[in-house]
Amino acid sequence: MNKNPLWRYLLLVLVVAGGAIYALPNLFGQDAALQISSADGTAPTPATQGEVLALLDSLEIDVKAVEATDSHVLVRLDQASDQAVAADELAVALGRDYTVALNLAAATPAWLRSLGGQPMYLGLDLRGGVHFLMQVDVDAVTTQAIERYGNEMSRSLRQSSIAHQVGDDATATAFSLVFEGADARDAAEAQITPEYPELVFEQVEVNGQPALSIAISEDELREIRNFAVEQNIITLRNRVNELGVAEPVIQRQGADRIVVQLPGVQDTARAKEIIGATATLEFRMVDEANFPYRGRPGDIPPPGTELFPERQGGYVLLERQIIITGDAITDAQSGIDTQTGRAEVNIRLSGAGGNVMNRVTGGRVGDHMAVLFKETEIQARRVNDEIVREQVQVEEVINIARIQEQLGSRFRITGLDNPMEARNLALLLRAGSLAAPVQIIEERTIGPSLGQENINQGMAAVGVAFLLVILFMVMYYRVFGLIANLALLLNLVLIMAVLSMLQATLTLPGIAGIVLTVGMAVDANVLIYERIREELRSGSSAQKAIEAGYGKALSTIADANVTTLIAAVVLFAFGTGPVKGFAVTLSIGIVSSMFTAIFGTRVVVNAIYGSRRGAKLAI
In 406-507, which ranges are continuous DSSP H helix? 419-431, 452-501
Enumerate the domain spans of the chain: 6-24+451-609, 30-106, 139-220, 222-446
Comparison of pLDDT for 533 and 338, the residue scoring more: 533
- Where is 228: in which H helix or E strand? helix 218-243
Residue 419 has pLDDT above 70, yes or no: yes
Q: What is the DSSP string of 442-458?
A: EEEEE--TT-HHHHHHH
Percent of the chain whose pLDDT exceeds 70: 90
Residue 450 has pLDDT above 80, yes or no: no
Percent of the chain whose pLDDT exceeds 90: 16
As a CATH number, domain 30-106 is: 3.30.70.260
Residue 449 has pLDDT above 80, yes or no: no
For residues 484 and 474, what is the distance between their CA atoms, to the nearest angstrom? 9
Q: Which residues contact 464 (CB under 8 A, 6 or more apart)?
A: none
Average pLDDT over residues 243-250: 64
Query: Distance between terminal CA atoms of the chain?
Result: 19
Bridge partners (DSSP) of residue 371 are: 283, 399
As a CATH number, domain 139-220 is: 3.90.1070
- Where is 231: in which H helix or E strand? helix 218-243
Q: Is the separation of the CB atoms in 419 and 333 below 8 Å? A: no
For residues 305 and 285, what is the distance between their CA atoms, to the nearest angstrom? 10
The upper half-sphere exposure of residue 228, i.e. CA atoms within 13 Å in the direction of its Cβ, equals 25
Q: What is the pLDDT of residues 506-553, one digit of tens each?
A: 888 888 888 888 878 888 889 999 999 998 888 888 888 888 888 888
Q: Which residues contact 334 (CB under 8 A, 6 or more apart)?
A: 343, 344, 345, 346, 419, 422, 423, 425, 426
pTM of this prediction? 0.60
As a CATH number, domain 222-446 is: 3.30.1360.200
Q: Is the separation of the CB atoms in 414 and 338 below 8 Å? A: no
Task: Report the number of secondary-structure helices (H) and strands (E) in the chain.
Answer: 15, 22
b (16+ CB within 10 A) / e for 370-383: bbbbbbbbbebeee
Predicted local confidence at residue 432, as pLDDT: 60
Cα 78 off chain centre by: 27
- Where is 525: in which H helix or E strand? helix 508-537
Average pLDDT over residues 414-441: 73
Cα pseudo-dihedral 485, 488, 494, 499, rounded to 10: -140
Q: Is the separation of the CB atoms in 480 and 165 below 8 Å? A: no
Specify the 3-state DSSP secondary structure of 114.
helix
Angstrom CA distances, 584 to 517, 588, 591, stand at 11, 6, 11
CATH classification for the domain delimited by 6-24+451-609, as one of 2.40.50.320, 1.20.1640.10, 3.40.190.10, 3.60.70.12: 1.20.1640.10
Residue 7 has pLDDT above 80, yes or no: yes
Categorize the per-residue pLDDT at 39 as very low, low, confident or very high, splitting at 50, 70 and 90.
low
Q: What share of the chain is helix, strand, coil (3-state, %, to 5)?
A: 50, 25, 25
Q: What is the pLDDT of residues 98-138, one digit of tens each?
A: 878 777 788 888 889 888 888 887 777 776 678 888 888 88
Q: What is the mean pLDDT of the chain?
A: 83
Categorize the per-residue pLDDT at 427 as very low, low, confident or very high, splitting at 50, 70 and 90.
low
Residue 19 has pLDDT above 90, yes or no: yes
What single-letter amino acid sits at 312? Q
Average pLDDT over residues 450-455: 64
What single-letter amino acid sits at 384? N
Categorize the per-residue pLDDT at 440 as very low, low, confident or very high, splitting at 50, 70 and 90.
confident
Bridge partners (DSSP) of residue 471 are: none
b (16+ CB within 10 A) / e for 118-139: bbbbbbbbbbbbbbbbbbbbbb
Predicted local confidence at residue 412, as pLDDT: 80
Which range, of 12-26, 75-89, 386-400, 523-537, averages the lowest pLDDT?
Answer: 386-400
**Strand residue runs (E) in 207-314:** 209-216, 249-253, 257-263, 280-286, 305-309
Predicted local confidence at residue 22, as pLDDT: 93
Predicted local confidence at residue 451, as pLDDT: 56
For residues 40 and 62, what is the distance between their CA atoms, to the nearest angstrom? 29
Q: Which residues contact 141 (CB under 8 A, 6 or more apart)?
A: 224, 225, 228, 435, 436
Predicted local confidence at residue 268, as pLDDT: 67
Average pLDDT over residues 248-267: 79
Predicted local confidence at residue 41, as pLDDT: 64
Specify the 3-state DSSP secondary structure of 260.
strand
Predicted local confidence at residue 614, as pLDDT: 63
For the chain, what is the largest distance between any 2 Cα atoms, rounded to a whole number of angstroms?
117
Predicted local confidence at residue 567, as pLDDT: 92
Mutual angle of helices 452-501 and 508-537, in 10-degree steps: 70
For residues 527 and 561, what is the distance between their CA atoms, to the nearest angstrom? 13
Predicted local confidence at residue 596, as pLDDT: 92
Residue 588 has pLDDT above 90, yes or no: yes
Comparison of pLDDT for 184 and 394, the residue scoring more: 184
Work out the number of other CB atoms within 10 angstroms of the CB of residue 495. Answer: 27
Q: Which residues contact 316 (CB under 8 A, 6 or more apart)?
A: 286, 291, 292, 293, 307, 308, 310, 370, 397, 400
Q: What is the pLDDT of residues 456-507, one digit of tens each?
A: 787 788 888 888 888 988 898 889 999 999 999 999 999 999 999 988 878 8
Angstrom CA distances, 56 to 76, 292, 310, 390, stand at 11, 47, 36, 23
Q: Is the separation of the CB atoms in 521 and 486 below 8 Å? A: no
